[in-house]
Every structure is written in C-alpha cells, then in structure tokens.
Structure 1
C-alpha cells in the first residue's frame, strides 16, 4: 500500500513540476506540490523502514529480546545454540540513539548441521564490542524448521558460561563458515519480503498520478500539443483563473457583500468595489457620522481600516448611504463583461466594478446609487456609469472609434 501511494505521489509531483516549468500552473493550490513531495518522501522512508525493521523476509527481521518463558521453552526444545559472528554491519537505522545492526552468524545448531544466517538486532551502543566478528554468542532459533534466530544479549547464566568456554577452546570460534540456510520467500512476496507488485504496475501508478494532476488543465495541454503557442495558452489560463476567482462572480459577489454587512453590522454603504480577488467597502464610521471607515475583503478574510484614507469633503456632507440589499449584485458581472466590446480593447487586468453613492458630477439627483465599470488596456482606459436600472449615465475613454469613445464625443 505504501508503494502504491508513493508511486501516485511521485507521478503527481512530477506533473506539478512540469506545469510549473511550462507556466501552466495558474490557479493550482500552492500546497499540492509540497504535499506530493512530502508524501512521496515519507512513503520512500516508510518502505525502507519496513524493509529494515520489519524484515518481512524472515532472517532479516528486527528481533527483540524474547520473554523468559520463550527462552525456557526454546532451551527445552533444543532451539538455543551457540553461534559465531561472521560479520556485523549497520542498517543505517537508529532507535533512541542505539543502532540496528545486521549480524551474519554461523550457527552451531544442536538439532541439525551448522548453517549460516543473518539477523537484525537493536544493540546498546556500549555493548557493540561484544558482537564483533569472531565473537561467540547465544542465539534462539525461533522455529525448528526455519533459520531465523534471535540474538540473546543477556542469555541464561549456563549458556553464558557455554559461550565463554566455546570461545576459550576454539570449538565454535574457529568454526569455518557453513553453508547458508536460505529462508524460502513466501508466496506473493519478493526477496525483501514485500508484497510483489510488478514494476509495470508501479510505473502505471506513476502515470495515473501524473495524469491526475494534468486532468484539470487537459484543455490547455491539448492546445499546446496542437500548436497553440505556450505563452498564449499560459496567458489565457491565467485570465480564466482570475475570472473564476473574481469577486464579480455572482455567488461570490453575494458572499462578499454579506460578509461586509456582517462585519459592519448594517447594510448602509457609501461604496462597494469588486475586483479580481479583492473587494472594498466604505461606510460611515457610525450611523449619522461625517467620517468614514473602510473594509477590505481578500480570499475570505476581512480587514477593517479606521479611518478611511480619504475622508468626505464638506460638499459631500451629510453622508447618505445606499442600502446594499437594494443592489442586484449578481447582475454586475454581465456589465463588466460588456466593457471590452464597448471600449474596443481587451483590458490587461480584470475589469472592476464600483457601486457608490451618486456624485454631483452628473444629473443623477434622486438615484440611490450608481454603478461604475472600469478597465484599462495597453494604451487606453475606459469606464461606463450605469444607473440602478442598468441604463447608461456616462461613458469615458475607450479606443478610437469604439462605442465608448463615440458616446463621449456625442455627449
């Protein structure tokens, strides 16, 4: 299971890196790549630990000190043996600063011919000199018909004496290396003892993880593969992502304004501006006040600025807020989408819309609010002012010959 997750995470991470390199990762959650890298790294580490510590293959298992009754039973059944350390090596794993070592042992079996096997054991760092090559140790054979043994670091006193005697008379210490008693690999497992998963399956899982990341941008990938310039596809993707995140999206506009009302404690505002991923609102500092405060919304978070950076002039007093409940916030996106056609150019940034108390610059006395739609292109700016019914009040700017430029010239 760990290797399955690892393969999927590796494929996903590779796709993330590819899209970053191609600049086609606009809108992707920033946590996708680091999480995929962390998951794949942890999966590799866990696989290594499973191999090093669990040793599913039998002789490579990490053996812990057995209970006294287990030792007694093994001695009665003739499964306690003397063994000679042929080699000791580090597995690279430590537990509480003590190393997990792999010992290759020549076992002087009491019930069968001598054999060579390996075992893994957690050894107190201070006792490592006792288990160097040539040392005679006591081991417990776990099963009479299998080679797996556990090193007894504190064997019964009688066996401790046997080990000392064997070391002294060279009977075991001078033992030649006997043939290895290989552990049969369980059905369905590989040589490491892990469940067999064909390399082709793991490669397929990498491709599945890779494809899972590419799927959300499949149309952009297809466009690149069919000849559309990469920069053009990247720019189009960025614009699309910005539009999807825009506060002008009808449901999000309602959400933003509801958040403003909740924060303010009332629905009376002097202006509400909706942009790409941010929105602002200006309101009286308190009901009937001649001073104003501001609210900023960004990705679900609201910040309150007290006071506003620009305060009302005397000719703008008294302040007469409009009621946010009277505005059809879901209709503003359509007005914003009209601007490129009206202006004769495609704005470089997302169009912004501001609903505000009418200014004295126009003959709009009696209107509760007006709607300003504004955008900026490479060489021109453009804005359109609407009344609450969506009728044009004013137009300004636009490219030469555009609807806005023509309207301005006529009025």
Structure 2
C-alpha cells in the first residue's frame, strides 16, 4: 500500500510539474508542494518496510495462541548482525537461530527484529531464549519471557548444532493471523514484478492525469506549440486566438463585446451581461480556461460601444503585427492588440466623439528606446502608423 501511495504521489508530482509548465503555475506549485513530501515519506517508509521483510509479524494474539497450544521451544542465537537500519533509534538486527520445539523436529532459520541497545547483551551468540513457535513446524518464532516452560520441559530441551539442522527460510513480509500466514495485497517476489510495475505505472499515470485533466486544453495547445519551438501557445496566432474566441463566447453566452485585449499569454474580453445592457463584466482566457472576473473596472456609457466578434478578423491579427514589425524593422516581441470601437467622427451623430464608430485594432511595436503605434480597421484591411 505504501508503494501505491508513493507512486500516486509521484504521478501527482509529475502532473504538478506539467501544470507549472503549461497551466497556472500557482496551482502546479501547490500540487507539487504536497505531492513531493508525500512521495518521499511513503518511499522512506516503504524502504523501511523492505528492510523489515524478514521480521516476523507476531501479534500478541498469535503469541498467546501459541502458548495456549503449547507450541513452545528454545532458540539458540548463533549469530547477531546489525543491518545498519534503526527503528526509533534502536538497531534492526539479523539473528541466526537454531530452534528446538517442545514438540517436533529442530530447525534453523534467520529472522530480523529490533533489539534495544540495552538488550543486546542478552542476544549474544550462544545465548538460549525461550520462544513461542507461531505455526506448527515453524519457522516463525517469537521471543517470550522465561517461565512458560516448566523446569522439567526446559531441562530436556537440547538444541542441536546448527550444521545438523534443516534451514527453514522465513517468507518475507508475512504476518501470522488466526494461525495462518497473511502476506501483503501486492506480492513482493520476482514473479509478480511485471504485474506490480504495471499497476504502479497505471496508478502514477492516473494520478498525473487527475492533476492535469482540468488543464487538458492548455496541454494540447502546448503540444502543438512545441512543434514551433515554444512551450506555451502564442494566443495572438490565428489557431490559438480562434480557440480563445470560441471559449470566451461560449462562457459569455452571446457574441457582443465592448473591448478585446489580445496578448501572447491571455485574451481579455469585456462583455455586457446581456446584449444591449451597459453593465459589463471582464472575462479572461488563460491556460486553456475562461475565468469570469466580475465587473469591468470601466463601464461603457452606452450600448453603442458594443460590437460583435464577427466584426473582427481575428485571423488577420498576427499578420498585422508582422506587418507593423516589418515597417519599423523590429521584432513583434510581446506586443499586444487592443480592439474597441473607434471614435464616431460624424458631427451630426448623437454619438459624436464617443467610441461608437467602426471597430478598430491598435498596437505598438518597439523596444526600450521607443515604440511606434499602429491602427487598423478590425477587418485588418489596412494598417497605418500614428
């Protein structure tokens, strides 16, 4: 189970890294910040569990059942080795044991157990300890306090030399429950390694997919952008801008806007709550998602300021930027486009001097030493510097 948790956390960590790269970085950092310590903690505990693979999982109930059934014996400690692992600052030791049960043939085995530093003298080679044999025939044993064996029983138990005994290995990661061996849900042997690897991979991929799923559109756009050598899509380009328009129009619920701001990383549309209403909200498209940001900071004076997405040739915006950059011999850089109705110049119009004329696009191309502003009709038909 710990390994499943570790791989799930690893998948979430990878998903967080992907979101950092192509989605909202703050969300990605939050996910990664939780997944990384969980992955480390679960991995460490899993490694500790592996080092305890030959330790015997003997519950007090299992020991008591062995006592009640008189499955008792004497174990001689032939060798004590420290593994280098410590549990709660106490050494995990490997013990070579020769065991003579009260009933049944003697056997040799090797087990791991935590031996407190203060108790190491009682586990020196040659020392004999009373044990409970947890299952008939062994090899699982648990050390018990002296006194369970009568003096007569203890006196007639003689542990043979280890070399003359059959060696019974412990099955790793086993617990004794109700007189039976119980192993982990996932096997630990070589035979099951391909299946475990497949399961762990599926868990990791599923965890990463869950993290990335809300930003699948951004991921898809980034994959396309990689073909052009970019990590994120440039929303000023026709395909990406068309997707932004579709998503914004769907979220807004109609096709009327008061203004559109287009940058490489995001598109902002200020749109009325309903067609013809002057109450205007701000909507932002970023990382493949639309965010409704509430009331716009500046509210239009009249519904005449509204125009339709169809009034704008979005597929011409990138061409206009390139044309402007060519005119001033500068790169497009991080130039942004701003679309809004032009000022009404008809002195006889009731909206004279107000933004009620045909929609237009403005942008600037330049560098730290200066810039040139450009304006063009929203259909991209002509570009002029101003």
Which TM-score band applies after superposition, normalised by the shorter structure? 0.5 to 0.7
Q: Among 163, 167, 170, which residue is 1:182 paired with?
A: 167
Q: Is contact 1:26-1:238 (8 Å) kept?
A: no
**Which of 240, 243, 248 matches 1:251?**
243
Alignment correspondent of 1:62: 57
- Partners of 2:320 and 2:271 in 1: how far apart? 27
Q: 1:396 maps to which residue? A: 385
Compared CA separation, residues 182 and 49, structure 1 to 2 (3 A) = farther
Contact persistence 1:107–1:115 (CA under 8 A): yes
SS of 1:241's equivalent in the other structure is coil
Does the C-alpha gap of structure 1 residues 359 and 238 become closer, same or farther in structure 2, counting only changes over 3 Å? same
Number of residue pairs the alignment of both structures matches? 332
8 A Cα contact 2:74 2:99, kept in partner: yes
Q: Which of these residues, 225, 229, 240, is aligned with residue 237 of structure 1? A: 229
Q: Distance in 2 between matches of 1:49 and 1:362?
A: 82
Rounded to whole Å, the distance in 1 between the matches of 2:106 and 2:137 is 13
Residues 1-400 of structure 1 mapped to structure 2, 5 A cutoff: 27=22, 30=28, 41=40, 44-45=43-44, 47-53=46-52, 55=53, 60-65=55-60, 66=62, 68-73=64-69, 75=70, 79-85=71-77, 86-87=79-80, 89=82, 92=85, 94=87, 102-110=94-102, 114-121=106-113, 128=119, 131-133=122-124, 135-146=127-138, 148-153=139-144, 157-159=147-149, 181-183=166-168, 194-196=188-190, 236-238=228-230, 241-243=233-235, 249-257=241-249, 259=251, 261=252, 270-281=258-269, 298-299=286-287, 300-304=290-294, 307-308=297-298, 318-323=301-306, 326-328=308-310, 332-343=313-324, 344=326, 347-349=331-333, 352-359=336-343, 369-374=358-363, 376=365, 381=372, 383-387=374-378, 390=379, 392=381, 394-396=383-385
SS in 2 for 1:251: helix
Where structure 2 has 5 or more consecutive residues not aligned to the other structure, the ranges are 172-186, 209-218
2:177 aligns with none
Instruction: Tell me how far apart the structure 1 counterparts of residues 364 and 248 of structure 2 sit (CA, whole Å).
Output: 21
SS in 2 for 1:237: coil
Per-residue deviation, residues 281-336 of structure 1 (Å, max 9, x unmatched): 55799x998x998666654444457755xx99xxxxx5455335x2228x654122
Distance in 2 between the 1:13 and 1:306 partners? 36
Once the two structures are TM-superposed, the CA of residue 238 in structure 1 deviates from its matched residue by 2.3
Say if 1:288 and 1:386 are closer, same or farther in 2 by CA, change over 3 A. same
Q: Which runs of 5+ in 1 are unaligned?
A: 20-24, 187-192, 221-232, 313-317, 398-411
* In 2, Cα distance between equivalents of 1:234 and 1:251: 17
| Alpha-carbon contact 1:246-1:277 (below 8 Å) kept | no
| CA shift in 2, pair 1:251/1:158, >3 Å | same
Describe the SS at the equivalent of 2:149.
helix
2:22 is paired with a residue of what secondary structure? coil
